[in-house]
Structure 1
Amino acid sequence: MAEAWSPPTRPPLIEGLVNGVDRYNPSNVSILEDYLYHQIRSQEYDCLANCAILKLYQFNPELYNPDVVINILIKALTASPLPDFNLCVSLLDERPINATLEEPDPVPALLPTLKLLSDLLYKCRFPAFWEHYQSDELEHLRDNYTVECVGFEDSVREVAIRAVRATFTKISAERLASYLDLNGADLTAFVQDKGWKTENGVIEIPPNADNQIEATVVQENIKLAQLTKVIAHGAKN
């Protein structure tokens, strides 16, 4: 969790902005926006820095940039199951509506779709996520926004992989394919890249702290004096 709030890729300049009083200085919004676009191009992610942009938009509605907001929300989707997306939305819900825009704000129209995608990821409904994401209805989102976010689909697959690692010791290739929206050679290459073994269509997930079942022995120590009180109380009743 600490790494999520302070990623090692965060530059010293941004570290100073997000952890000091300058995070509320509107003259720094362009620096934070440039850092967001760096994240989009490099597959890096910094929730705290992106939230700083949304806070500046709250305090300074004239700075509001809907494309930046949508990019922040798209990056936050890939942090599931962490609450980053809902945190960003909560900051949006408090945004003043008097920002001056030359064109209609696309955020209100896209927000229900992004919320649905976030909900599907949080609930680990990965096949439903891919079906909705790849639908004709979301062509506008793919062609205008997620296409600009380098590695977006691979980042979503990592969300699925985190869930698979925590849940399974073995999973069928067919099921994993539906979680990752990959088939054939693409799925084979993905599994090989993870170093996982496949046998007869079943993929073995290496042991880890989350997918191993361990018996737990619970031992209670009751002192004689306590037991005597319990017996005496029962005898009175």
Structure 2
Amino acid sequence: MPSVASTWASPPTRTPLIENLVSGVDRYNPNNVGILEDYLYHQIRSEEYDCLANLAILKLYQFNPDLYNADVVINILIKALTSAPFPDFNLCISLLDERPVNTNPDEPDPLPSLLPTLTTLHNLLQQCRFPAFWAMYRSDEVESLRDNYTVECVGFENSVRDVVIRAVKAAFTRISSERLGTYLDLAEDDLAAYVQKISWSIDPSTGIVSVPRNPDNHIESTVVQENIQLSQLTKVVAHAAQTV
């Protein structure tokens, strides 16, 4: 089974063409930016994700400011948002320092106004403040982001819930359905259906959700027994005596 790191570096859904663009010298060829942008929109429509390919777009924008497309950047950040707790979002942000200043008043750049919102949402996910994330995401403040961007990102909310589930699996063996519902922004039948979908179980009498056993929520102590021979100990003592 491939590791998380290998899957991140080379997703199984990446095509040979994109692999050549990401891994070869063509990574810095501005003529290929259109191919990478099309690949990003394929990710938006298909619930796939390829961080390195998206970082390649941002690097091309950095080297070639005339290629800059604010909508592409925002969509890259939205995809990176749901990679928490991995550092993809910060990696993307680190490549935005040299973005050009928009001088066309008829087409204002939406990124400066949305970037603080995206950053706050990212921080809430990183801090596992899930109810606060959903409250902000549903608020009027984020209406522009929802109506113009995340609505086009297939499965965005479920991708956020994947982040929640990763955190819950690492911290709980049992959790109340009410609490889990606030984390997932789901209630009653929707919550029950989601719990069933991920093969967890709810006790109908108590409303307690059982989280399957995994290496993170069931830490087992181990006893390390060292076998030191008397001859070895004698050498250690003798060496210590010589150095005194």
Same fold at TM > 0.5? yes
What amino acid does structure 2 have at the position aligned with 1:51? L
Q: Which residue of 1 aligns with 2:221?
A: 215
- 2:196 aligned counterpart, secondary structure: helix
Say whether residues 1:50 and 2:54 are aligned partners.
yes
Distance apart, 1:99 and its partner CA = 6.2
- 1:8 aligned counterpart, secondary structure: coil
Q: Give the Cα separation in 1 of the matches to 2:133 and 2:83.
A: 15
1:216 and 1:34, CA in 2 relative to 1: closer, same or farther beyond 3 A? same
What are the Cα deviations for residues 38-74 of structure 1, in whole angstroms up to 9, with x where unaligned?
0000000000000000001011111000000000000
Q: Give the Cα separation in 2 of the matches to 1:159 and 1:217.
A: 33
- 1:203 aligned counterpart, secondary structure: strand
Q: Which residue of 1 aligns with 2:115?
A: 111
1:108 and 1:227, CA in 2 relative to 1: closer, same or farther beyond 3 A? same
Q: Which residue of 2 aligns with 1:204?
A: 210
- 2:109 aligned counterpart, secondary structure: coil
Q: Which moved more, 1:219-228 or 1:157-166?
A: 219-228
Q: What is the correspondence of 1:1-237 to structure 2 with a 5 Å cutoff?
A: 1-93=5-97, 95-97=98-100, 103-199=107-203, 200-219=206-225, 224-225=233-234, 228=237
What amino acid does structure 2 have at the position aligned with 1:209? P
Q: Which moved more, 1:221-230 or 1:190-199?
A: 221-230
Distance apart, 1:190 and its partner CA = 0.2
Q: Give the Cα separation in 2 of the matches to 1:96 and 1:139.
A: 25
Q: Which moved more, 1:34-43 or 1:96-105?
A: 96-105
Segments of structure 1 that go 5 or more residues without pairing to the other structure are none
**Greater relative CO, 1 or 2 (CA 8 Å, sep 6+):** 1
Q: Give the Cα separation in 2 of the matches to 1:59 and 1:224.
A: 62
Distance apart, 1:213 and its partner CA = 2.2
Q: Give the Cα separation in 2 of the matches to 1:226 and 1:126.
A: 58
Distance apart, 1:166 and its partner CA = 1.4
1:67 and 1:226, CA in 2 relative to 1: closer, same or farther beyond 3 A? farther
Q: Give the Cα separation in 1 of the matches to 2:94 and 2:225.
A: 45
What amino acid does structure 1 have at the position aligned with 2:188? G
Distance apart, 1:228 and its partner CA = 4.7
Segments of structure 2 that go 5 or more residues without pairing to the other structure are none
Distance apart, 1:97 and its partner CA = 2.2
Question: Could you tell me whether the CA contact under 8 Å between 2:102 and 2:109 is conserved in 1?
Answer: no
Question: Could you tell me whether the CA contact under 8 Å between 1:167 and 1:211 is conserved in 2?
Answer: yes
- 1:171 aligned counterpart, secondary structure: strand
- 2:202 aligned counterpart, secondary structure: strand
Q: Give the Cα separation in 1 of the matches to 2:94 and 2:235.
A: 51
TM-score (norm 1): 0.91
RMSD value, Cα: 2.0
Q: Give the Cα separation in 2 of the matches to 1:231 and 1:221.
A: 20
